[in-house]
């Protein structure tokens, strides 16, 4: 019984939802079945303790029908009726949150009842309210299309020979709704086809892209159409100018795009930057940093008022790579309180340790890393890599060799790690160990032997497919090379 669909549904309610459901069930307009009322009231009374103890079939039956012999069929029928009522309640809850849909149904009803005067007044009020909306998503076009449809219906009912533009507006709004949704889906199809290795077919896609391009002066005035047109061009072309076109369009239309579309657009831009950085275009590191700053300013990186610890880490990492150390320190101190309480201290210590390492304050790094809890693989790997670099720069070779040995065992035990990540960290630790060994023995080994070992190390670094912190390792090898030439 505890696995019953109705109980599972109720267990996902909040207290306020459960109270509204009870009120809904007790309303004679929606439900006249007294035993259904009793069942929903029982769940409301025990909520949120809808567990196995309180939801055993015998316990529920006796609560509803005290003293009667258990009748499972009777209880099953009662649950079926109650589940139907719960579905109706959820529909009503959604309906209450969609004012535009309510207005459309009201207009339709007034027209069908031939309440023309009331209908016309309500229609004009809706049209005025719709035109005042500054932020426009694709649903706005659909709502405007529906109002134009009702205006056209009014024209047909009136039978007057006057000129009316409702049919033209109806078609214009429908075109814009279709274009906005098609362009948005076209972008997502391109991304998914690469990620999932699947092919999507849209027979009209090329025609639509050509139409928007040829009439961009006309369609480009619509923020949603303009932004997704440029995103599509950006993700399907090698020309970097499309990135800057998308960025410019975003900056020009930010006040007219809803929050979700702004987040989507920034996400497309960030992924483009990451792709370029991975292909060896370091100038896009500065671009992604500007994107992070813009999102922070607009509050787009927050979920329920909180900043993700991974956004926090990515921003710190990017700032450090750009050597924006003063900004990074201020960010770490100013924003760590915006992270959820359970993750706050861990994120703060790890990122502060990263900052201290970048600032050359190596003695400050180790105490912080010892306080980081490695509950997440990303923290575990990141902290070990930071520890490795710190030991190297502090010339703590014994600790470094011990760390590389233990890390080798860690990799062998962790079977769930992705192959690319495993190889990247494996190469970092293995090759850093070799660099440390060469550096440690510079004063003891013959120069020819050290040079030979260093040449082989450089070759292996160049030939390795994946090395995390590769630029750091190459920098350390160059320093060893300079020491050998002295």
* DSSP assignment of 312-354: HHHHHHHHHHTT-HHHHHHHHHHHGGGS-HHHHHHHHHHHHHH
Burial 435-474 (b: 16+ CB within 10 A, else e): bbebbeeeeeeeeeebbebbeebbeebeebeebbbbebbe
What DSSP state is assigned to residue 66?
T
Q: Would you say 307 and 295 are in contact if contact means Cβ atoms under 8 Å apart? A: no
322 confidence band (pLDDT: 50, 70, 90): very high
Mean per-residue pLDDT, 95-108 = 93
State the CB neighbour count (10 A cutoff) for residue 201. 6
**Quick check: 161 pLDDT over 60?**
no
Give mean pLDDT, residues 2-12. 86
- DSSP assignment of 124-176: HHHHHHHHT--S--HHHHHHHHHHHHHHHHHHHHH---S---HHHHHHHHHHH
C-beta separation of 355 from 325 below 8 A = yes
- CB-CB neighbours of 127 under 10 Å: 17
431 neighbors 464 (Cβ within 8 angstroms): yes
Instruction: Indicate the pLDDT class of residue 357, thresholds 50, 70 and 90.
Output: very high
Q: How far is CA 124 from the centre of its chain?
A: 39
Reading the block at residue 472, the tokens are 């750091």
Q: Are 315 and 292 in contact (CB under 8 A)?
A: yes
Tell me which DSSP letter residue 254 carries. G
- CA distances (Å), origin 90, targets 15, 24, 101, 201, 468: 15, 10, 16, 35, 49
pLDDT at 413 over 90: no
pLDDT digits (tens, 9 = 90+) for 209-249: 888 989 998 899 999 999 999 999 999 998 999 999 999 99
List Cβ neighbours of 385 (8 Å cut-off, separation of 6 or more): 425, 428, 468, 469
- In the chain, the percentage of residues whose pLDDT exceeds 70 is 98
* pLDDT of res. 229: 95
Which of these ranges, 250-254, 301-305, 373-377, 385-389, has the smallest mean pLDDT? Answer: 373-377
Q: pTM for the complete prediction?
A: 0.81
CA angle 363, 368, 371 (to 5 degrees): 145
In this structure, the dihedral spanned by the alpha carbons of residues 26, 27, 33 and 37, taken in order and rounded to 10 degrees, is: -10
Domain locations in the chain as residue ranges? 5-96, 376-486
User: How far is residue 237's CA from residue 205's CA, in Å, rounded to a whole number?
Assistant: 16
Those residues whose C-beta lies under 8 Å from the C-beta of residue 230, and which sit 6 or more positions away, are 242, 245, 246, 249
Give the residue-averaged pLDDT of 385-391. 95
pLDDT of residue 191: 87
Phi, psi (degrees; rounded to nearest 5) at 202:
-135, 105
Residue 362 has pLDDT above 60, yes or no: yes
Using one digit for the tens of pLDDT, what is the confidence trace for 420-437? 788 899 999 999 999 999
d(CA 154, CA 168): 14
CB 404 within 8 A of CB 425: no
CA dihedral 135, 136, 139, 142 (to 10 degrees): 130
Report pLDDT for 312.
96
Q: State the Cα–Cα distance between residues 429 and 417, nearest whole angstrom.
A: 16
* Residue range 80-90, pLDDT digits in tens: 999 999 999 99
Interatomic CA distance for residues 354 and 352, integer angstroms:
5
Are the beta carbons of 25 and 85 closer than 8 angstroms?
Answer: yes
CA-CA distance, 231 to 331, in Å (whole number)?
A: 30
- For residues 474 and 431, the answer to whether their CB atoms sit within 8 Å is no
- Runs of H (alpha helix) within 197-219: 205-214, 216-219
Q: DSSP code of 255?
A: G
Q: What is the pLDDT of residue 486?
A: 67
Backbone angles phi, psi at 302, to 5 degrees: -90, 140
Distance between CA atoms of 470 and 454, rounded to whole angstroms? 16
The answer to whether residues 343 and 314 touch, using CB atoms and an 8 Å cutoff, is: no
Has residue 123 got a pLDDT over 80? Answer: yes
Look at the alpha carbons of 373, 378, 384, 385 in this order and tell me if their dihedral is positive or negative: negative
What are all long-range contacts of 475-484, with beta carbons under 8 Å and residues at least 24 apart? 476/392, 476/432, 476/435, 476/439, 477/435, 480/435, 480/438, 480/439, 480/442, 480/454, 481/454, 483/439, 483/442, 484/442, 484/447, 484/450, 484/451, 484/454
Q: Residue 306 has which token pair? A: 């909180």
Q: Look at residue 378 in the predicted model and tell me its pLDDT.
A: 84
């Amino acid at each position: 019984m505890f696995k019953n669909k109705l109980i599972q549904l109720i267990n996902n309610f909040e207290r306020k939802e459960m109270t509204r459901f009870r009120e809904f069930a007790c309303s004679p307009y929606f439900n006249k079945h007294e035993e259904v009322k009793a069942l929903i009231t029982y769940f409301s009374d025990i909520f949120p303790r809808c567990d196995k103890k309180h939801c055993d079939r015998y316990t529920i039956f006796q609560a509803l029908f005290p003293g009667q012999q258990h009748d499972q069929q009777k209880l099953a029928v009662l649950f079926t009726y109650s589940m139907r009522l719960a579905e109706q309640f959820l529909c009503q809850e959604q309906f209450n949150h969609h004012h535009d849909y309510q207005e459309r149904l009201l207009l339709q009803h007034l027209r069908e009842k031939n309440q023309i005067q009331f209908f016309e007044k309500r229609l004009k009020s809706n049209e005025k309210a719709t035109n005042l909306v500054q932020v426009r998503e694709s649903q706005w076009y659909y709502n405007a299309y529906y109002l134009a449809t009702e205006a056209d219906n009014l024209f047909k009912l009136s039978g007057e020979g006057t000129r009316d533009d409702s049919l033209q507006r109806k078609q214009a709004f429908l075109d814009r709704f279709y274009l906005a949704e098609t362009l948005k889906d076209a972008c997502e199809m391109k991304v998914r086809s690469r990620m999932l290795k699947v092919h999507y077919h849209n027979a009209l896609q090329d025609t639509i892209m050509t139409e928007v391009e040829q009439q961009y002066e006309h369609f480009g005035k619509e923020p949603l159409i303009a932004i997704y047109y440029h995103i599509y061009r950006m993700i399907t072309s090698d020309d970097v100018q499309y990135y800057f076109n998308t960025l410019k369009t975003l900056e020009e239309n930010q006040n007219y795009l809803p929050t979700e579309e702004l987040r989507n657009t920034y996400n497309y831009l960030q992924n483009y930057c990451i792709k370029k950085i991975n292909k060896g275009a370091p100038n896009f590191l500065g671009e992604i940093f500007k994107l992070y700053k813009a999102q922070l300013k607009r509050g787009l990186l927050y979920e329920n008022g909180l900043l993700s610890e991974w956004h926090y880490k990515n921003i710190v990492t990017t700032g450090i790579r750009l050597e924006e150390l003063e900004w990074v320190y201020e960010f770490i101190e100013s924003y760590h309180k915006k992270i959820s309480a359970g993750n706050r201290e861990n994120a703060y210590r790890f990122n502060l340790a990263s900052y201290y390492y970048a600032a050359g304050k190596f003695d400050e790094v180790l105490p912080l890393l010892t306080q980081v809890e490695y509950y997440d693989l990303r923290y575990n790997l990141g902290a070990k890599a930071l520890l490795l670099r710190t030991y190297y720069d502090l010339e703590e070779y014994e600790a470094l060799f011990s760390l590389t040995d233990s890390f080798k065992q860690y990799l062998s035990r962790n079977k769930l790690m992705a192959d690319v990540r495993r190889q990247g960290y494996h190469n970092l630790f293995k090759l850093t160990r070799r660099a440390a060994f060469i550096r440690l023995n510079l004063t003891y080994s013959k120069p020819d032997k050290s040079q030979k070992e260093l040449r082989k190390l450089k070759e292996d670094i160049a030939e390795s497919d994946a090395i995390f912190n590769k630029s750091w390792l190459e920098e350390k090898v160059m320093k060893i090379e300079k020491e050998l030439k002295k």
